């Protein structure tokens, strides 16, 4: 493990495309949604979603989310994933333009000119999710292996657990 936690997080996030975002609505009811994402070098996610959707409304109202990114179809001893929580907001102006460039570079089909997709995109907004905390889980290293990262501390906490037996 010569790479630091930031580099391992970035490599993992760049290798995947879908995150699950979890929110609570104005009445405290939980909701989750799967979204395509792009990630920048500062470990910020960029997603496109409709602000009037259930999760979009909650994101606007609360400005915070939590979520996960993980590999599909894993065996227990191969589990890898990231958990996160942080702030979110809609982007506009120059921030939106830069985010859109990053997003369409990752998902060129979004800017392909498909009429159905283009019509659907008119109802969406570009969002930035800025995680304050992330946990990288990797059972390939050891069962229950976890490493944590915090944006404001730029430090890591490490814990590894092994199964008894």
- What is the tens place of the pLDDT at every residue in 65-86? 999 999 877 778 778 899 999 9
Give the pLDDT confidence of 5-17 residue by residue, as tens digits. Answer: 999 999 999 999 9
Rounded CA-CA distance 165/52 in Å is: 50
Report pLDDT for 1: 40
CA angle at 105 for the pair 20 and 17, rounded to the nearest 5°: 20
Q: How many distinct helices (H) and strands (E) make up the chain?
A: 4, 9
What is the domain partition of the chain in residue ranges? 5-134
Cβ-contact 148, 135 below 8 angstroms: yes
Report pLDDT for 154: 62
CATH number for the segment(s) 5-134: 2.30.110.10
Report pLDDT for 2: 46
| Cα 41 to chain centroid, rounded | 13
The SS3 call for residue 87 is strand
The stretches in the chain having pLDDT less than 50 are 1-2, 155-156, 158, 160-165
């Amino acid at each position: 493990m010569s790479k630091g936690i930031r580099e391992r997080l970035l490599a993992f996030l760049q290798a995947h495309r879908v995150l699950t975002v979890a929110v609570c609505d104005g009445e405290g009811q939980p909701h989750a949604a799967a979204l395509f994402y792009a990630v920048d070098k500062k470990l910020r996610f960029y997603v496109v979603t409709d602000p009037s959707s259930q999760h979009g409304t909650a994101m606007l109202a609360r400005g915070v989310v939590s979520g996960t990114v993980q590999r599909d179809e894993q065996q227990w001893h191969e589990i890898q994933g990231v958990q996160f929580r942080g702030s979110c907001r809609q982007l506009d102006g120059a921030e939106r333009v830069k985010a859109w460039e990053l997003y369409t570079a990752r998902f060129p089909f979004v800017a392909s000119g498909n009429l159905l997709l283009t019509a659907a995109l008119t109802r969406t907004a570009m969002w930035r999710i800025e995680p304050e905390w992330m946990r990288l889980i990797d059972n390939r290293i050891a069962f229950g292996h976890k490493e944590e990262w915090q944006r404001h501390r730029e430090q890591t906490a490490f814990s590894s657990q092994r199964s008894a037996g």
